[in-house]
Structure 1
């Protein structure tokens, strides 16, 4: 009876938002960025190497990786210079070439939102993806993916884009801040990727209550981890914050991950761990002061994201989070949750 009542309440709230706040909700509606990277048309038309280049919309990351392994260093550099936006965003391209390509794209950008992403002299940032379209999408690496024995990927939630990727307020609610904190805790034998590679919801409108942006993000995240594997990077632990856990839930069955960790999750669009159809170990963290606990864990007519992954009946392994504070405190230094995240990344947690 209690669950039925919660369902009715959730449906009523959702209907009120959709009907009574339609102007506000539609004003925040986002169009998911999908498909191949910018510059693909010129890439497809380029036959300077005397052979077709791999098609960003058709070839798999494994096929892309094989193609690049068959090129000379000079040929690789020619593609970096001629097509930086494609090389920098094409999963399966060696990470070093992606760093170079994205550095060139950032240098060529005149948008002030992206100036800091280029880094300063002598301190170039390791930008693994940079797509300037729309609100902008970015991925950054902390550590050395080539030598790392343990790798993690951080998937953020709502209100994250190139402009808020590494904002200085609410640092541990940003992908860069979360990744930096995790890398600092794990040390030089690890590498952590801050992945803001999908269109996130803005605010608490209909986008945040539905799964359409998460579905598009799930495809992009899956291809991204396939690209890491194709380049010889160890299978990562994937950390999914807030709406990012909806992305990870929809991607789980085909996501290359040794661990799947959700924190501050509104639901994963799955009934329980078995419903995720993944071989990864599934973990969940939620602190008592997180406002996400006030969100009804239901899914009705496409609204809502289903059961709470931190509830015992979901079947996830529990991450201690009693000393985390609020919705963005899970990666704060000194917390039990950050210590547990580091242990998961390094394969020490059981």
Structure 2
């Protein structure tokens, strides 16, 4: 459309049509991924010789091209869905203005001119035309974004570019390479080679420490779009397949039909699930609930968000440093590291999952907002956390040190990547790691294994780390690291802190060389204490929260 949209054009718009386009692109991406997978599974052992070498090279080129185009279509589909939301909101604003003006007795011409009624109409005309211009600007921006997505993946001419087939060889060597070597390898690539690597191996690029963060952000947008497409594939299953999956997941348990415990009861439930309309609908709904929830959450990761620093009215894309739901991994940067004077890394606790990570994001953004651009934060989910209800079974899960032992080495490696990225800014940016609850055990275990940090804070921590019973058990690679701890009075975590030979090590509040932070008072003046204080110290504006912010920024502490 041109920039001079008319009233009738905006009134006749159907932004939701973009959703249909996005679905079509996703469908084509799925078919291309299927082609690439079939090419990947071809048995190379059935054909050998010079002709075979050329044939397999051509097949590899086709596989790479199919994968590349599938990634491009998935990314374009994600932008089209965002576009539908943005354009619908812009259209809605204009329609609301028109309704108010017409309701006051005015007439609105197709070019936006307002006449009739009582009172001056020049201001109303300007308002309508401003709305039309805003809609046109949004339309152009969405169109440009989609066009740039396709332009970044130009059609191949003849054989696939040499850089694309080489991508598999590049990432194959990463598991045995140092992060510095990976960074050097990518730094030596041309922009075209980087783009080829990104499109051919987004999963590896988006989740490998040592890869520059801007490249990780771009790769994970592709990975998230791919995850949405995969969940759409699940929703596209036949109804009978969905019912079988729901039954396998326990649908109908406890219904009491025919006495569930017997064979006859099981068969009756199965028959009802397939034959009874109500049961069929319930089983299908049970199956669809999880993929629908995941699609909604993943779309949120692709959506632009308000600038968390509060310095700009413009929205910004989210900065996802790692995205691998199969490994329960989601790492996100909040704020602007280019201007921040300090960086915090938040390691959360029990019952944290990828889909339930919103509270941690909100906590991180509060720190960023309070810093007004001087603070950047990272929320770190580097693997599965113990989960379970607040019962004996849930508490037993929280005493299991295996989660900390599995995640701590990943946090150590990530701290090396953080250190190199921060050094790359050319500025002194102190990095503070905050381990909350079970995250405290993960943090302490990582310190034992060689974490690099300027400051560490054990916030209502389960312990000082697996195998840490004395400050000499920590092996932080920064010999000048400053350590802090915080636990509010009445916090039930105190029941497990520092148990003799406990699974999470000593109580950090009692360890030598650890500065104990005061939890003080809540915003209403009451003492920060009791069971709710376990989470409130990081979530509620209070003396405790301000002390955590002060450690991150290096400001004086509250007494």
TM-score normalised per structure 1: 0.77
Q: Give 5+ residue unaligned stretches, structure 2.
A: 1-36, 38-62, 65-162, 232-292, 306-314, 389-393, 522-527
After superposition, the C-alpha distances for 1:284-332 in whole angstroms (9 at most, x for unaligned) are 00111322122252154xx532322123x54410112133442111123
The CA distance in 2 between the partners of 1:296 and 1:237, in whole Å, is 22
Q: Give the number of aligned pairs.
A: 298
8 Å contact 1:182–1:341 — kept in the other structure?
Answer: no
Which residue, 223, 226, 234 being the options, matches 2:413?
Answer: 223
Which residue, 434, 457, 462 being the options, matches 1:239?
Answer: 434
8 Å contact 2:387–2:397 — kept in the other structure?
Answer: yes
Secondary structure of 1:133's counterpart equals helix
The CA distance in 2 between the partners of 1:190 and 1:296, in whole Å, is 30
- In the TM superposition, structure 1's runs of 4+ consecutive aligned residues that sit over 4 Å from their partners are 120-123
Secondary structure of 1:305's counterpart equals coil
Confirm or deny that 1:199 pairs with 2:391.
no
Secondary structure of 1:57's counterpart equals helix
Pair 159,56 (structure 1): closer, same or farther in 2 beyond 3 Å:
farther
The CA distance in 2 between the partners of 1:47 and 1:133, in whole Å, is 26
Moved more, 137-146 or 50-59: 50-59
Q: Which residue of 1 aligns with 2:542?
A: 335
The CA distance in 2 between the partners of 1:349 and 1:64, in whole Å, is 39
The CA distance in 1 between the partners of 2:497 and 2:214, in whole Å, is 44
After superposition, the C-alpha distances for 1:238-297 in whole angstroms (9 at most, x for unaligned) are 000011111111111411100010111121132233332333111000111322122252
Q: Which residue of 1 aligns with 2:364?
A: 179
Confirm or deny that 1:116 pairs with 2:316.
no
The CA distance in 2 between the partners of 1:54 and 1:226, in whole Å, is 21
Pair 202,47 (structure 1): closer, same or farther in 2 beyond 3 Å:
same
Q: Which residue of 2 aligns with 1:304?
A: 503
Q: Where do 1:1-350 residues align within 5 Å?
A: 47-48=165-166, 52-53=170-171, 55-110=173-228, 111=231, 112-113=293-294, 114-120=298-304, 123-134=316-327, 136-166=328-358, 174-203=359-388, 204=394, 206-231=396-421, 232=424, 234-253=429-448, 254-269=450-465, 270-278=468-476, 279=479, 280-295=481-496, 297-300=498-501, 304-311=503-510, 313-323=511-521, 324=528, 325-349=532-556
The CA distance in 2 between the partners of 1:87 and 1:103, in whole Å, is 11
Which one has a bigger Cα radius of gyration? 2
8 Å contact 1:263–1:284 — kept in the other structure?
Answer: yes
Secondary structure of 1:151's counterpart equals strand
Q: Give 5+ residue unaligned stretches, structure 1.
A: 1-38, 167-173
Structure 1 or 2: larger helix share? 2
RMSD: 2.6
